[in-house]
Structure formats: structure tokens, C-alpha cells
Amino acid sequence: MKKTLNTLAIATASMITTGAMAATTNMENPLFIPTEGQFYSKTSFGMMYKKADHTLALKAKDHDGAVEFPVWRFSQDFGYGINDRLSTYLSLGWTQNDDIDRYGAHRARLGLNYRIFENEQDFVWDVYGEAYMGGLSKMTGAYDLGKGFKYDNFSSGRWGAVLGTKFGKTWDKFTAAVYAEYLQIFGNHNNKIGLNTAQEVASGITMGMIGFPDEISVDLKSTKEILAGVSGLYQFNDKWSLGGGFKFIEHTDNGVKDIHTKLNAPANPALEPVKQAVVQNLLDKTHNMKDGWDEYYLTLVLANQVTDTVQLSVYAEYVFDDSHSQSQNGTDAKAELGVRMNARF
């Protein structure tokens, strides 16, 4: 009996710790993780085409149906293997959209990935957590009473946390994975919103006259994102591979709790009721901003292993979406084509 238990324990330990047997060096493989002491870099440069949809927010700006091209996209990922199971990574992204004068970091995340399980049948289970670092920079823009909000950058101005998991398996030359993650974004007032104080809120009464400054910040509510997807890769030979995938992202509505900036008193005290009415109207309109949207991504990547440690890839991505009435992120068409260089050290 004792011998049987010992044999069972050894077999179980072997099944759990044989991660190195199925380790892949193809950095486009959805199950790639760095080995102990290994550093990697992924550098991507892409060009996006967008055609805006017809939400109320875009119609108010006379931008519905407008084409935005080219939209330049840059991303940089770094990772390091703490051991063969645990790795850390940093993921950064920048977008430059000159057609709407909007640019800045669209992604900043610091994460840990842990490989819980990998057996001799090349079945893998990972869990990961990330710090969402949108709060590194302020969300900036301007608000117009008629046209609504104009974004200057892609930052949310907020911090958050991600929890995700991934399951996958390799069959000879083909690898498949499914994954899901939940992102909680925490509300704050790390934003800067410009106002045109010469705008009239009533006949002959401007925003400046009732105490609004040129710039305010607001207390934004917490929000969330939910993501799920599948991906696969076929390894033709030692050099060439072809991958693809589908993912869904739900971006829930944002909302304003209050105006954080202390407003000035009206020069004429008789205008105080007008000020309070304008503030309440703004809060009623933005309590639920109705700016959420759902995205459905189709991706394709062709990779060539140039050397043992350097890989060059060409990727393509097409996105379908369904946006809420006040969203400025909805599109009739959105596609991106780019190149990526992967390296291991």
C-alpha cells in the first residue's frame, strides 16, 4: 500500500511539473511563456483604418460616417521568466489619430502569469493578474454644451485590476487556447476638462457668469470590462506558423458622480439658481454617459522564425462593434494591418 501511494505521488508530481516538455519558443503561440531567467520583447507597429458609425454623440459632432485614416498604432511588451511557471510582463500601447486630434497611451498594464498546470498531454492552465495603469496620466478633453465631450487622449485617468485565466492544449503542430478576464476600473477625479466659459446657458448668461472656470475635473464612477476569446496557431515547420483568433470585449458605460472642482460664486448672486440648475442638468446628462460598446475581434498572424531568438510577424485585425447611443468608439468599419518583431534573450 505504501509503495502504491509513493508511486501515485511521484506520478502526480511528474504530471504537474512537466511544463518544460511542452514549452514553445514560438512567441506567437498563445501558450508561450518565458522560461526561468529568459527575457522577451514584442514590438508592434500598425496602421488602422476606421469609419465612424452613427451614434447620437458622433452626429452631434458632424462626424458620423467620417473616415479616420491612417491611425498609427504602436505597442511594446516586455516579459521575464521568474521561474518556469511564474513570469512578469509589462504591456504598453500608443495611438496617434490626427484626423480627430487625439493621441496618447491606450494601454499600460503590469502583470504576473502563473502556470498552474501542464501535463504530458500538453494541456495547460494559466492564471494571471494585472495592474491597469490608466491613472498614470490624466484623462483630458473639452466639453461643449451642444456637441458634448471631445477627447484629447486615450487615457481613462483611472487605476484598475485585472484577473484572468487561460486554458490550452497542443496537438502535434496545432495549439488552441481559450481565455477570459475581468477588469475592474476604479473611479476617481484624475481628469482635466476644458470649458468654453463664453457659451450661453440662457439668453445673455454665460457659463463664466455663473461661476464655471475654464477647466474642471469630475468624479467618475467605477466601471468594468469583460473579455473572452479563443486563439489557435498551426506550426507548418521550424520557421513558419499561422495563427488566428476571436475575442469579445464588453466596455460598460461610464458615469459622473459629481463635479469635483469647486465652482466660483456668480458675480451676480441672483444667478445662483441658474448655476444650480445648470449643474444639475449636467449631472443628469452624465450620471450614465451611455458611452459603452461591445467589440468582436477577428485576428490573423503569419510568423517567420528568422533566427533561434528573433521572429518577424505580419498581423491583421478586423473589429465589429455595437455601441451605445453616446459612444464615440463605435465604427462601421475598423481594420488594422501591422508588423511585429519578437525577440528572446
Band the pLDDT of 35: cuts 50, 70, 90: very high
Per residue in 290-310, pLDDT (tens digit) is: 999 999 999 999 999 999 999
Residue spans of the domains in the chain: they are 2-187+222-254+289-344
- Measure the CA–CA gap between 330 and 327, rounded to whole angstroms: 6
- Measure the CA–CA gap between 224 and 293, rounded to whole angstroms: 12
Per residue in 70-83, pLDDT (tens digit) is: 999 999 999 999 99
Q: Is the pLDDT of residue 7 over 60?
A: no
| 3-class secondary structure, 327 | coil
Question: Which residue has cell 477647466?
Answer: 215
CB 204 within 8 A of CB 234: no
> What is the average pLDDT value for the chain, to the nearest integer?
93
Which of these CATH numbers, 3.40.630.10, 3.90.420.10, 2.40.160.40, 3.30.1330.60, describes 2-187+222-254+289-344? 2.40.160.40
- Measure the CA–CA gap between 297 and 317, rounded to whole angstroms: 7
Question: Which residue has cell 521561474?
Answer: 83
Band the pLDDT of 24: cuts 50, 70, 90: confident
Residue 23, pLDDT score? 63
Band the pLDDT of 12: cuts 50, 70, 90: very low
Per residue in 121-144, pLDDT (tens digit) is: 889 999 999 999 999 999 999 999
CB 104 within 8 A of CB 94: yes
Band the pLDDT of 15: cuts 50, 70, 90: very low
- Measure the CA–CA gap between 303 and 250, rounded to whole angstroms: 29
